[in-house]
Amino acid sequence: MNEDLFAAAEVIGIIAFAVSGGYAAVRAGMDWLGVVVLAVVVAVGGGTLRDLLLGIEPVWWVRDPDMLVVATVTAVVVLVVATLHPQSKLDSWRVVLYADAIGLATFTVTGTSIALEQDVRPWIAIIFGVITGTGGGVIRDVLVRRKPLVLVGEIYALAAIAGGVLYVVLRETELASGLAAAAGAALILVVRAAAMRWHWRLPRFSEPGH
Amino acid sequence: MNEDLFAAAEVIGIIAFAVSGGYAAVRAGMDWLGVVVLAVVVAVGGGTLRDLLLGIEPVWWVRDPDMLVVATVTAVVVLVVATLHPQSKLDSWRVVLYADAIGLATFTVTGTSIALEQDVRPWIAIIFGVITGTGGGVIRDVLVRRKPLVLVGEIYALAAIAGGVLYVVLRETELASGLAAAAGAALILVVRAAAMRWHWRLPRFSEPGH
Amino acid sequence: MNEDLFAAAEVIGIIAFAVSGGYAAVRAGMDWLGVVVLAVVVAVGGGTLRDLLLGIEPVWWVRDPDMLVVATVTAVVVLVVATLHPQSKLDSWRVVLYADAIGLATFTVTGTSIALEQDVRPWIAIIFGVITGTGGGVIRDVLVRRKPLVLVGEIYALAAIAGGVLYVVLRETELASGLAAAAGAALILVVRAAAMRWHWRLPRFSEPGH
């Protein structure tokens, strides 16, 4: 993936996850600074986990602090919008989910790409893509005390895995790496959107009485 | 500890924690992929924490991806069993606890052994053993939103500490290191089994009204 | 900051967070060993996060295990006091909050100082100060299953940011670095105490029905 495209994907992912984290915080009744903190943590969380596990240190937002600025500015915008349009909170979970889907799509591909550069096996690289794409959302859900989205029956990690596999396979072909990345991200986005639109779910176990 | 024995202990620990994490996910009403994800995360979680804190990077399952394969296969077996025998869910917490005990026993000893190789003091190595043995279970309990087992009155971390101490002490003797490891793990398993069988508990504070 | 002063600040922070974590565990009905574990984890948690993210490894309490001893001894004192004076539990949340404020003040400043030594930009160093100061409390709140204090409307991270900024600015002046550190920590403590005394709160969003 060429550098400009990669940077663009990172910025899109940061903005999307900051929106997702910020709205989740608004919904959970957090304070203004808490909204900013959660937005930033969700935006950088997946990539931070990836860097720690791969041993790339210091982690990415220390090497590239502009990403923190992008996340913070996004969080402030969420704050203003949520304050001026309190009725938007009624739909806030939908905003969280769609923003999360965009972040999942871009970060899964950039995360896979970064892991491949560390010379891990392709299927391990895909796992790192999934960690990068889902990590922020897991942190978000633990901090607002919901069951992590990735674990509760939505077609979610599966979409990320599918996109990661497509990206890795297409990279091996003649295709420009940018196109491979775009195709992988698009697949994730389409699968997630379809899953939300038509309520596709993975089979899930019922909770027995405790 | 010789290499073959060490590898065998790791595989046993991986399988045990994957069963524990998988059944906990089944019990919590997660979906099929969530069961696999939680099983794998619980299986590799303790060792991952250990490697991050000691600065051994990339973490162990990147260096030895076969462990992920073992965890995933175990998770799929859990999935099939839980689907074919839904009544097994009635007893699922017992399965979680016994599998957890086996994982605790093996991972505490392997974790202590890995930390000793990093030239930390023996009592710090035992702490790393306990982190390796209990870390996966803490992650499991946070993600299924239970109070972590290690914190609520079961004889749990105490069993790990006892086994870690025994292992470190026996290593200093003429005893073959494999025997020292086996003795440490056996002590943990016996103490945990006895604690569960006869409901041994540490004194615990009552929860005041909020 | 000279070395003796730095070491003193670390010890104060460790004791304060161990008290905070220990009392939170007592309040949550945990067992004796759970109280010790939570006290130690809260005491070393923020600095551990900082070291992992900056790539300083092994983490600080492996390099300086005396800190673990201080945390453990403090935890045992909490245990004895809570057992002998069960009525103290009625006020336990107040103890958690004030001890947390002291730890927040000292660790924010020591964390900022450590990050500056790694040659990160000053505003990134302040973020690491805030992570060091608030990290232990976030871990505490997740493990006892409360919404993290940092996210719910108390003037909390804001106090840490203010103190971090003051410390960084004063370091640039002729002032001795020890005085700069003391001023930063004092500001955090005063702001937190005033916020608790007069119930200063940041504006916070109301929770909509789910």
Give the tens place of pLDDT for each residue, C136-171. Answer: 999 888 888 787 777 766 788 899 999 999 999 999
* Beta-carbon separation of A204 and B34 below 8 A: yes
* Distance to chain C for A186, nearest Cα, Å: 31
DSSP single-letter state for residue B146: -
Nearest to C157 among A26, A37, A58 (CB): A37
In this structure, are residues C131 and C160 in contact, taking their beta carbons and an 8 Å threshold? no
Rg (CA), chain A: 17
Task: State whether residue C209 sits within 8 Å of chain A by CB.
Answer: no
* Distance to chain C for B48, nearest Cα, Å: 13
Q: Which residues of C touch A48 (CB under 8 A)?
A: 53
Mean pLDDT (whole number) for B183-200: 92
pLDDT of chain A along its 210 residues, tens only? 678 888 999 999 999 999 999 999 888 888 888 899 899 999 999 999 999 999 998 999 999 899 999 999 999 999 998 888 876 666 677 888 889 999 999 999 999 999 999 989 999 999 999 999 999 998 888 888 787 777 766 788 899 999 999 999 999 888 888 899 999 999 999 999 999 888 888 777 776 544
Q: How many residues does this entry show for chain A?
A: 210
Nearest to A204 among B30, B38, B144 (CB): B30
The residue to which tokens 């035992």 are assigned: B126
Interface test with A, best of C114, C205, C206 (most A CBs within 10 A): C205
A78, two tokens = 């969420």
* Beta-carbon separation of C158 and A65 below 8 A: no
In this structure, are residues B121 and C65 in contact, taking their beta carbons and an 8 Å threshold? yes
CA–CA gap between residue C169 and residue C70 (Å, rounded): 32
Nearest to B37 among A54, A142, A157 (CB): A157
For the purposes of burial, counting CB atoms within 10 Å of the CB of A77, is it exposed (0-12), middle (13-18) or buried (19 or more)?
Answer: middle
Nearest to C150 among A29, A34, A68 (CB): A34
**Binding partners of A (≥3 Cβ pairs within 8 A):** B, C
Q: Which residues of C touch B121 (CB under 8 A)?
A: 65
ipTM tops 0.85:
no
- Type and span of the H or E element at B102: helix B92-117
CA–CA gap between residue A148 and residue B155 (Å, rounded): 29
Give the tens place of pLDDT for each residue, A60-89. Answer: 999 989 999 999 999 999 999 888 887 666
Residue of B nearest to C60 (CA): B53
* Distance to chain A for B144, nearest Cα, Å: 7
CA–CA gap between residue A115 and residue A126 (Å, rounded): 8
Task: State whether residue B119 sits within 8 Å of chain C by CB.
Answer: no
Query: Measured in whole angstroms, how far is the alpha carbon of residue B149 from the centre of its chain?
Result: 12
Specify whether the backbone of B119 is left (phi greater than 0), alpha (psi in -120 to 50) or beta: left
Nearest to C208 among A31, A90, A142 (CB): A90
pTM of the complete model? 0.88
DSSP single-letter state for residue B154: B
DSSP alpha helix (H) spans, chain C: 3-27, 32-54, 60-63, 66-84, 92-117, 122-143, 157-171, 177-197
Other beta carbons within 10 angstroms of residue B85's beta carbon come to: 10
Instruction: Give buried/exposed letters for A121-154 (b at 16+ CB in 10 A, else e).
Output: ebebbbbbbbbbbbbbbbbbbbbbebbbbbbbbb
Residue of B nearest to A150 (CA): B34
B39, two tokens = 């099983």
Indicate if the alpha-carbon torsion angle A122, A124, A125, A126 is positive or negative.
positive
Indicate if the alpha-carbon torsion angle C118, C122, C125, C129 is positive or negative.
positive
For the purposes of burial, counting CB atoms within 10 Å of the CB of B80, is it exposed (0-12), middle (13-18) or buried (19 or more)?
Answer: exposed
Residue of B nearest to A206 (CA): B29
CA–CA gap between residue C68 and residue B72 (Å, rounded): 36
DSSP alpha helix (H) spans, chain A: 3-27, 32-54, 60-63, 66-84, 92-117, 122-143, 157-171, 177-197
Task: State whether residue B32 sits within 8 Å of chain A by CB.
Answer: yes
Could you tell me the residue ranges of all domains in chain A?
A: 3-197
